[in-house]
Amino acid sequence: HGGLLQALANDLYEAAWHLGGTVSGEHGLGLVRTEFLKRQAGPLYELFREIKDVFDPLNMFNPGKIISDEHELLTRDLRRTGPPDPEIHDLQLSWPAERLLETANACNGCGRCRTHEPGNRMCPIFRTDAEEAASPRAKANLVRQTLTGELPEHLLASPEFKRVADLCFNCRQCRFECPSSVDVPHLVQEIKAQHVAQNGLPRSTWFLTRAMDWGEWLNRAAPLLNPLLRRKSVRWAVERFFGVARKRKLPMIAASSFVSTAGAKRTAPPPMLDQRTVVYFVDYFANHHDTELALACVKVLERQGLHVHVPPRQLRCGMELISAGDAEWGRAIAEHNVKVLVEFAREGVAIVCSEPTAAVCLKDDYPLLLGTSDAQLVAEHTFEVGTYLQRLHAGGKFDAEFSPLPLRAAYHLPCHLRALGTQTPLFDLCGLIPELTTPRLESGCSGMAGMFGMELRNFETSLQIGRELMAGVQHPDVILGMTECSSCRLQMEQSVEKPTVHPLKLLAAAYGLMPELRTRLLALAGTN
C-alpha cells in the first residue's frame, strides 16, 4: 500500500497548502516530509540549501533531512512482508505461523523500548547493555525475518538466536509499556523453545528447574540441607558443577510443604461451590519455602468469610520452565494444573494466587502453551489475590478492622504484578492499617527474575539491575521491605539483613490472626 500512502500524502498536503497551512505541526519535518518542503518553501528552498552547504559542507548533520533531492522518502523504508514461509513448521507454542508473524509485524521499529527514562521499566537488560541485540525490537525483527524467508529457518533454533533471546528474562515490561503492545515475551519464548527442543537446556538451568520437581523431598531433607547450603565449600561445589552463584542468598527450605499440612478441611473437596468459595493456587515458593505466607493468605481470605480450598494435587505453575524454553515439561505441568483447576472454573469459582508470577502464568501463558478452551477458562477465573481482595473491598465485603502496626515497610512493585495491569491492590489495602507507613521504592525491576538471578552467568547483571532497589531497602529509615514477588524478595534481602515480607503477612498480623508473626514484626521496630 506504499503507492496509496504516497497519494494520500500528496492530496493531504495540497489541501493544507490551499488553506494556507503547512506540512508540519508540533514536530519537525523529518525524513518523511522533507520531499514536500521544496514545494512549500518555493524560492526559499535554494537559500536553505546554500545555508546547509556553508555550515555542513560534508553533509554530516542529519543527512537527508530538510535538504534532499530524493523522492518517495515517505515509503522508501516501509517494511514489506508477505505471508509466512510455508517451510516454517513445528512451532513450540500453540499458535499458527500466521499469528506468530502478525505478532512480530506489530513492532514498527519505533525504538521506544530502547528508553533509559526513569519513569519506565523496559528493558532492564537493555539498560545495562545498550546493544541493539538487547532491545525488545531486535527479537521481533529476528522472528519476522525468519518467518518471511529473509533469514534461513534453521536460525530460529540456532545458538546465535538463542544468545539474543537470552537477553530477555521475561519481566513483561516491554509488552506492558510498548505503544503497540507487541508481545515480545512470547516471541522470545518461541525462540528459546525452538533451541531447547533441538539442543536441550544448559546444565545450570536444567538443575534449577528440575530441583523444583523435588520439592517434597527437599522439605523432608530440610534439616540436613539448610545447614549444608550455608557452608562455603558446599556452595562452591554447587556453583562449580551446577552453575548456581555461590554468593546468592538462598531461601530456607521449609520442614514440610504447605499443601501437605494445610489440613483436611482445606484440602478436601468443598461441600459446595459458590461465590463464597475460592481456590488457592499456592505455587512453589509459598508451598516449599515460605509456608507462613501461604498460611497468611488462607487466613486473610477466611477472615472475609470465604471457604478456601487448597487442591492437594496442584503443582507449581512452571513459569521457570516456560521462561527457559522447556516447552515440553512446562506443557506437562500446565496440563496437569489445568486438569486440577478447570472443574472449579466451570462452576465460576475464583482461583487466587499469592504469587504474581503464578497469576501471569495461568492467565497469559497456559492458553498459548496449551491452546485449549479449558486453559482459557482457567485463565479467565484466575486472580492475583490482591485484586480479588480489592474487589471485595470495593463491594463493601472486606473486613477493614485492623489493629495498629507501627512499622515502616518500603514497598516494591513487582514487574509481573505490573504486567497484570491491576495496579497495587495489596499495597492499597495495607494503607488501611493504622500506623503502618509504606513508602514506595520507585526503582524499576529488581533484576532477580527467578532462575535468571540464581545462575552464576547472570549474577552480576542481576545485581547491577537491582542496585537501586537494594539501596532503597538499605536506607536506615526502612525497617523492612515489602513486595508480593518471592523472587524480588530474594533480591531485596541479598545485601541487607532486613527481612522483606509479602503484604499478606502485614494484613494477617494487623488482623491479629498470626500472633507470633505480629510479635516478630513489632520487634523489628523495637515495639512490644
User: Mean pLDDT of successive 10-residue segments in the chain (528 residues)?
Assistant: 84 93 81 87 92 94 87 74 67 92 92 92 95 96 90 90 96 96 97 95 91 94 97 97 96 97 90 89 98 98 97 97 97 98 97 99 98 98 98 97 97 98 97 98 94 96 96 94 98 95 99 97 83
pLDDT at 31: 80
Considering the chain, tell me which residue range(s) the CATH 3.40.50 domain(s) occupy. 407-524
The rounded distance, in Å, linking the Cα atoms of 44 and 50 is: 10
The candidate with the shortest Cα–Cα distance to 296, out of 354, 240, 246, 254, is: 354
H-run or E-run covering 279? strand 277-281
The rounded distance, in Å, linking the Cα atoms of 4 and 10 is: 10
Q: CA 264 → CA 189, 268, 337, distances in Å?
A: 39, 5, 20
The rounded distance, in Å, linking the Cα atoms of 122 and 137 is: 11
pLDDT at 87: 62
- Strand, helix or coil for residue 62: coil
pLDDT at 275: 84
- Strands (E) across 258-303 are located at 277-281
The rounded distance, in Å, linking the Cα atoms of 287 and 281 is: 10
pLDDT at 359: 99
The candidate with the shortest Cα–Cα distance to 92, out of 317, 336, 328, 323, is: 328
Sign for the pseudo-dihedral over CA of 251, 257, 259, 265:
negative
CA 385, 388, 392 angle in degrees (round to 5)? Answer: 135
pLDDT at 206: 93
Task: Work out the number of other CB atoms within 10 angstroms of the CB of residue 28.
Answer: 11
Q: Which residues contact 89 (CB under 8 A, 6 or more apart)?
A: 97
Cβ-contact 461, 450 below 8 angstroms: no
CATH architecture of 258-394: Up-down Bundle (1.20)
H-run or E-run covering 351? strand 350-353
H-run or E-run covering 505? helix 503-511
pLDDT at 416: 98
Considering the chain, tell me which residue range(s) the CATH 1.20.1050 domain(s) occupy. 258-394
Residue 440 β-bridge partners: 411
- Strand, helix or coil for residue 198: helix
**Looking at the domain that runs over 407-524, which CATH code has it been given?**
3.40.50
